[in-house]
Structures are given as structure tokens and as C-alpha cells.
Amino acid sequence: MSQGRGRGYTLVEILIALVILLVVAGAMHRLLLSTQRLTRLQARQSELQSALRAGALVVANELRELGPHDLLRLAPAAVTYRAMRGVGFLCQTPTPTTLRVARQGFTGHRDPQAGRDTAYVLLAAAESTAVWQPLAVTGVSAGSSCPGAVRSGIGVTVPSTPALLGLEPGTPVRFTEVMELRLYQSDGESWLGARSVSAGEPVQPVIGPLAAGNGLALEYFSGAAIPTSDPSSIRGIRVTLRGQVDGGEREESLTTVAVLRNVARP
């Protein structure tokens, strides 16, 4: 008796085993599929979160360096501004067409660039009557030398300006670039885009994809934290970035505040 039963399974036993196996395998298949879907969703959500964090950092850092006079065009989802690119000091008396800026003491994102930047040279030193002369940068030689102990410098060629004659070494020079930040559409997706207006560049994507329509929201407010559209009274900008994952299944948003640092002392 024991020999007969020990040799194999009956058809019924195999059928039952098969059915159970199918049910279990089916359940596992569904579980794995949903886990896979969830994992993808979570990966995208995590990417979106880090994109929003990076975007908030980039936009706020760019706007903080400005003053009210640097805000050129304002819109709810776009802003054109005079971005700070570097600050330095003259290391010798300039000619009408050439400025020499000491490398030592020069701070900024990058060196000045010809055809892109504007140099602002301080002509009158008194704070109440500060006059900054804007000069288009037409040439830059990064390897220029300065006289004296401060050796290395940046040579900047500008259109002939007699007012530069007689400026003393140590005169501050600011280099700025007109930039635009905006929400823009590309291939049916919305991105936070940036472009150099002064270099006439097309918009480049910075962060995204963001939510269409309200992916970037800029609110301008005054010193009393009241919304304003008058550029001269703007003291801060509230930046909101929004993004979506899988057609709105998950939503993320991040709001950050940038108070303008380059405000003349009242």
C-alpha cells in the first residue's frame, strides 16, 4: 500500500497544486507589478523634490544679489534683471578705452565676458551722489598684468570714455549681465528657463519639468511685505516652484523668499 502511494501524485493532486500555484503566482505578479509602478513613481517624485530644491536655491541666490534698480521687467512667471557677475577694483589709472582690474580682490561667478557684460565704474564716491558709469565690455584679456605688488589682473576694453581718465587705482567696478528667468514650454513640458538677454541667447532649461501654467510663480513685495508692482519699491520676491509626477498623481511645491540685498541704506 505504501509502495503504491509513494511512487507519484494523482492527477487530482497535480491539478489542485497547479491551481494553487497559479493563484499564488498571479498574486505575486500583481504585487510585483504594483511595487514596480510605485518604485518608478517614487523615483520620479524624489527627482522632482530635488529639482525643486535646486531650483529654489538657484532662483533665490540669483535674485538676492540684486537691488530694486536691477529689476528691469516683472511678470508673474518671468523676471528680467541685471545679474551681478563680478566685482573688482582698478589696479591702475585707466585709459579712455582700457580698464585694468586686479585679480586679487575680484569676486564673482566668473570673469567678465566680451559682448555679454556691462561694466559699471564708480565715478563719484560719495554714497548719496554715487554715479556708476555703464560701459559695454567689448574685449577681455584674462592674463593682463597690474603694476606693483599686485601682479595679475583682468584687462577690459570698453568704448572710448573720457570720464575714465583720472580715476584712481582702487575704484570699484561691477560687471553685470542682463538675464531673464521664466517659465517656458518645450516639447509639451514646462521648464524653468534662463537666458542671457545681453548676449541675445535663446532660453536654456534650468530645472524641470514643472507644472504647466503655474510651475513658476513670482510675487513681488515692498518693505512692508505688501504686494507691489512698482520696481523701485520692491524689497523682496517670493518664489514658488510647482511640479507634478505622472500627470498630476503626486504634486510637489516649494516656496522660498529672497529679500534684495543690494538696497541703498535708507
Partner 1 sequence: MRHTRSGLTLLEILVAIVVLGVGIAALVGTSGMTSRMLGAAKVETRAAQAASSRMEALRLAAQSTSPRCSSPAFASGGPVLAGGMTESWVVAPSGKVRRVRVIVTYLTVKGTRTAELETSMSC
Residues that bind partner 1 (CB under 8 A): 2-3, 5-7, 9, 28, 31-32, 35, 38-39, 42, 45-46, 49, 53, 56, 223-225, 235-236, 252, 254-259, 263, 265-266
Least distance (Å) between residue 97 CB and partner 1? 37
Residue 250 backbone zone (phi > 0: left; psi -120 to 50: alpha; other: beta): beta
Q: How far is the CB of 140 from partner 1 (least distance, A)?
A: 33
Phi and psi torsions of 182, nearest 5°: -160, 160
Question: Cα separation of 213 and 216, whole Å?
Answer: 8
- Of 126 and 224, CB closest to partner 1: 224
- In the complex, minimum distance from the CB of residue 42 to partner 1, in angstroms, rounded to a whole number: 5
Q: Which is nearer to partner 1, 247 or 266 (CB)?
A: 266
For the record, the C-alpha cell of 41 comes out as 513613481
In the chain the first and final C-alpha atoms are separated, in Å, by 106
Query: What is the number of other CB atoms lying within 10 angstroms of the CB of residue 186?
Result: 12
Residue 2 or 149 having the CB closest to partner 1: 2
Query: 248 in the Ramachandran plot: left (φ > 0), alpha (ψ -120 to 50) or beta?
Result: left
CB of 52 to partner 1, least distance (A): 8
Minimum CB separation from partner 1 for residue 70, in Å? 16
CB of residue 90 vs partner 1: minimum separation in angstroms?
26
**What dihedral angle (degrees, nearest 10) is formed by the CA atoms of 204, 205, 206, 208?**
170
Closer residue to partner 1 (CB): 70 or 117: 70
Q: Which is nearer to partner 1, 197 or 257 (CB)?
A: 257
Query: How far apart are alpha carbons 88 and 261 in whole angstroms?
Result: 18
192 vs 58, 61, 102, 195, 215, CA distance in Å?
11, 15, 35, 10, 8
Output 45 or 198, the one with its CB closest to partner 1: 45
